[in-house]
A = this chain, B = another copy of it.
Amino acid sequence: MVGLGRMGANLVRRLMRDGHRCVVYDRSTDAIRSLTDEGATGAGSLSDFVAKLEKPRAVWLMLPAAVVDSTLDELAGLLDAGDTVIDGGNSYYRDDITRAKRLQERNIHYVDCGTSGGVWGLERGYCLMIGGETEVVQRLDPIFKTIAPGQGSAEPTPSRTRTDGTAPDGYLHCGPSGAGHFVKMVHNGVEYGMMAAIAEGLSIIKHANAGTVDRTVDAETTPLRDPWAYQYTIDVAEVAEVWRRGSVIGSWLVDLTADALARSPELDEFTGRVSDSGEGRWTVLAAVDEGVPASVITTALFERFESRQLGGFTDRVMSAMRSEFGGHAEKK
């Protein structure tokens, strides 16, 4: 394992718990030490790391996207034909295609592995979406099986009749190079959409008291025609809690939302600036290229942009037009 951040370290722990032997490397010696204390073999450098692995080697990278390529370049000079590099981070799937080709020239294999599970994966297991050559992926099967949640983590799908395949274990070989990160990318796009749907819904419920709040009365403010219909003060945290059981929208995201609201009903510790780290954007680009209308996922992406006030010039142009044609002054 190269890269011992939260995700990398927990992957190592989950592997060791199941009896795998792991060599670990990171630029931080503290990160290394905390895992060697738990039984891992530490390495002092990338070449030391490579030397300590048995052939054919399997090197799992869990690195920020920005340093994957430089690490790969260095590794390429250290590894031997037949070795495999697994990129478990959030790379753009197109980079996987390029990298696999480049490493193939040295007969080094490259596997891309989208890894979902967040900070909870150590206990729950990680959902793995894998791309690469079939034989190579099969050889690594024991690793993936350990990391994934396993069949017991959910009821079997009633209509599933095929008995082959690893999807019920929580990992899937999706196709050739890039296919794993492609599916993971779209997974995150779906995540954006689901998060926004839940958040919007809770917001509508929170504002069900709109009729009890004084509205400014002026030409720039739409009056609420039916204040009697918005007289509710609803406990949003309890709504999230009740939706966890038996409802159609039951989901891990609702579970987590209930947890966050249980701790902090107003979520005042957040400013609401929602980052996006690439996969949502790439999902939209793919949808546009493919000609697939992905209105909800795209809307969720732009909602994040708006949360960071990236539409400022757009808004000022609109205010300027209103001023021009109607003499409307902006409200303060």
Interchain CB contact under 8 A, B278 and A197: no
Q: Is the CB of B326 within 8 A of A246?
A: no
Nearest Cβ on chain B to A236's Cβ, whole angstroms? 8
Q: Kindly list chain B residues whose C-beta atoms are within 8 Å of the C-beta of A316.
A: 267-268, 270-272
Residues of B within 8 A of A277 (CB): 219-222
Identical copies in the complex: 4
Indicate whether A229 reaches chain B with its CB closer than 8 angstroms: yes
A117 adjacent to chain B (CB < 8 Å)? yes
Q: Are B317 and A198 in contact (CB under 8 A)?
A: yes
* Residue total for A at the interface (Cβ-Cβ under 8 A): 175
B contact residues around A119 at 8 Å (CB): 325-327
Q: Are A324 and B260 in contact (CB under 8 A)?
A: yes
19 new A-B contacts, CB < 8 A, other than A210-B289, A272-B313, are A64-B219, A92-B225, A116-B246, A157-B255, A167-B241, A167-B242, A168-B245, A176-B232, A187-B243, A196-B296, A199-B313, A199-B315, A199-B318, A207-B313, A222-B278, A271-B319, A291-B305, A291-B310, A307-B315
Neighbouring B residues of A225 by C-beta, 8 Å: 92, 289
Q: How far is the CA of A292 from the CA of B171 in the complex (A)?
A: 35
Q: Which residues of B contact A53 (CB under 8 A)?
A: none
Contact, CB under 8 Å: A281 / B290: no
A253–B251 touching, CB < 8 Å: yes
At the interface, yes or no: A247 with Cβ under 8 Å from chain B? yes
Which of A21-29, A37-45, A134-142, A178-186 sits within the interface? A178-186
- A220–B275 CB distance below 8 A: yes
B248 & A183 in contact (Cβ 8 Å cutoff): no
* Option from B175, B192, B257, B303 in Cβ contact (under 8 Å) with A234: B175
Complex CA–CA separation, A194 to B222 (angstroms): 20
State whether A116 and B172 are in contact (beta carbons under 8 Å apart), knowing that A223-B278, A295-B295, A305-B291 are contacts in the complex. no
Majority secondary structure, A binding face = helix
- A34 lies within 8 A of chain B by Cβ: no
A163: shortest Cβ distance to chain B, in Å?
Answer: 12
Interface residues of A in 62-94 (CB under 8 A from B): 64-66, 92-94
Compute how far the CA of A316 lies from the CA of B315 in the bound complex, rounded to whole angstroms. 22
For residue A293, CB closer than 8 A to chain B, the reply is yes
Distance (Å) between the CB of A244 and the closest chain B CB? Answer: 5
Which of these, B257, B259, B290, contacts A230 with CB under 8 Å?
B290
Q: Is the CB of B182 within 8 A of A190?
A: no
A190-B198 in contact given A118-B325, A167-B241, A328-B275 (Cβ < 8 Å): yes
Report yes or no: B253 in contact with A249, Cβ–Cβ below 8 A.
yes
Contact of A193 among B121, B296, B325 (CB under 8 A): B296
* 14 contacts across the A-B interface (CB closer than 8 A): A149-B245, A159-B259, A168-B241, A182-B205, A199-B315, A200-B294, A203-B292, A250-B252, A264-B320, A267-B317, A270-B330, A272-B312, A272-B313, A285-B285
